[in-house]
A and B are shown apart, each in its own frame.
Chain A
Amino acid sequence: MNIALENISKRFGEVQANEGISLAVPAGTIHGILGENGAGKSTLMKILSGFIRADSGRTFLDGAPAQIRGPADAIRLGIGMLHQDPLDFPPMTAVDNFLAGRTGAWRLSRPDARRELEERQADFDFRVDPGARVENLTVGERQQLEMVRLLSLGARALILDEPTTGISALQKDRLFAALRKLAADGKSIILISHKLRDVEMLCDEVTVLRRARVAGRAQAPYDLNELVRLMFGRVVTREPRLEVPTGGPLLTLDGLAVEDHRLRLAGLNLEIRAGEVIGLAGLEGSGQELFLRACGGLLRPAAGRLRLAGRDLAGEPYPVFRDAGIAYVPAARLEEGLVAGLTPAEHFAIVEPGGGLVIDWKLTMEQAERRIAEYDIRGAATGPVDSLSGGNQQRALLSLLPPGLCLVLLEHPTRGLDVESASAIWRKLLDRCADGAALVFTSSDLEEILQYSDRVLVFFGGQVAGPVPASAMTVERLGEMMGGQP
């Protein structure tokens, strides 16, 4: 399908999210959309998929003007979108997710749907268990399910909003192969990403957005420096690794065992030193989350000891961990990290230490302004956090961490952040290390793990290998270990 957007504008209250954006995607091509956090990428694509409505502007499909009044119209016209945070129904099974929203006989036939799901998955070498609950699937699998679902609805244009954050290297290879195959079939694909390498590998053409407008366009082969300049208005480079000398032992795990109903980690022994950064590598759902939750006091260990500066915290309730200076930053930012509906300023008021019963709004607003400036959160301090762009929600979450922590546990700390904000966040985190805090983090970006960690733990199906010094590792070796090769 040939897609053309003409002069699209959209404003949310005070924020102009899109301004006079035009875009053309010929059938059979893969089009990349680049731009820093908050540039307006998701907004533009939500407009194309009918999820929100533009204030002005027109859409043409195969040359004819199209009226897209809502998602139902877009689906009928053959446009499907994979949202930045998977928009599915977590407690329901994969088949039910596949079926929900389809038209057809009013009575469900799950065996038929299951067969169709399996058949369509086989086309792309996807392997989602139709009977599994979606909340137990990895982000990559949820994405595969959504993609197959959209194609089954007859999508001829597929929009993917940052599909490569939070998925494994293998899943990414499968995804890219699938997208190439779809483009070869004449479908048009639009890919939003922060990762220049992904765009370089996949896209025939890119459009760069900055501050709600089109900053430029480019065609393959790309000059990556030029793309970066278009995205940020200047050249950004990755900084060399900051060396922080490590201190004495901070957290000691002694035969720790943790489990939930899916997975069991046992016999963990580890000594984390002050100032150290530990990276946790592994395919999603291999046990990293259990590990972090146990260290953060959110999951009671089944056995073993967890000593912080000599004091055994295993079995203590969460507030004890928190008061001891341990913080946990979850991956599901809107579900566990932030309170949807509250503004950033209100969040700051909640976490501000001390303080009386009554909120001093003047002081809070001042502090909010300070933190917003410090973490460069773009968007209004007085609007609800869930209306921030994905990357800015992540910044807001990190800006809530109190000062003086001794152990910070992070899941995908730079998920959805552009290169510039990612290094800004890391600068802030490493400052804490210089003050004697230790960091433990997960990431699906292996380069990030090797760049920032001192030592790496590799998780595979509940088995933990390592710790290995990051300096002795390569991305390839790490990939092998994550796949279970010793």
Chain B
Amino acid sequence: MAESFASLKESFVFNFIEGARWKYITNGLLVTLKVTFFALLLGIVIGVVVAMIRSSYDKTKDEMQPGPGKWAMTVLNAVARLYLTVIRGTPVVVQLLIGYFVIFVSSTNTVFVASMVFGINSGAYITEIIRGGIMSIDPGQFEAGRSIGFNYIQTMRFIIIPQAFKNVLPSLANEFIALLKETAVCGYIGLMDLTKGGDVIRGRTFSAFMPLIAVALIYLILVIFFSWLVGKLERRLRSSER
């Protein structure tokens, strides 16, 4: 027992302390958090815009007057649907490779490329979350806004989206947690995230157990921590309702 503990300690020192190899882990963790955070931000922006396009089209297509407005809405809606279909119909690793080798070829900033790709990817899922949130709002809220004289966009901005957003906050937080794990494939484009950091140590020390288990533990702790936060948030939101 004491012997195995000693060898664990030795392995720990060898993998992380010598050559300051722990920096691969901490720097990687930072990259992972950065990519996740920026991707979520971008995803929310895309999600809100696409959700508004989709639900406004569904709501107004029957009564819109023919003309450039209707034509523009039809095109926008078609683009939105194409986006949703393509993003949700292809693996994120493939999107990442296409993003790096085809779309953002001129960029050497892999954090930027990964944030863009994961943001565009999660935007498709966040669209559905926000759309659900919009549909959960009492139609009377929409009518009240319109009856005051707000146009469609203003009604969304001041009245519907703030309420929908509050309703979907827990789902968005869960999307953050899912993203945190999904970004582990960033190594495919040479990004030194948490997973890649552990893998680099494995390559240097030729011992797989210690670095990979450490990486897994860090993910696990982060996920447990953020899930706990979401739980707290959900309870707070529920108690603030009537």
**Do A and B form a real pair?**
no
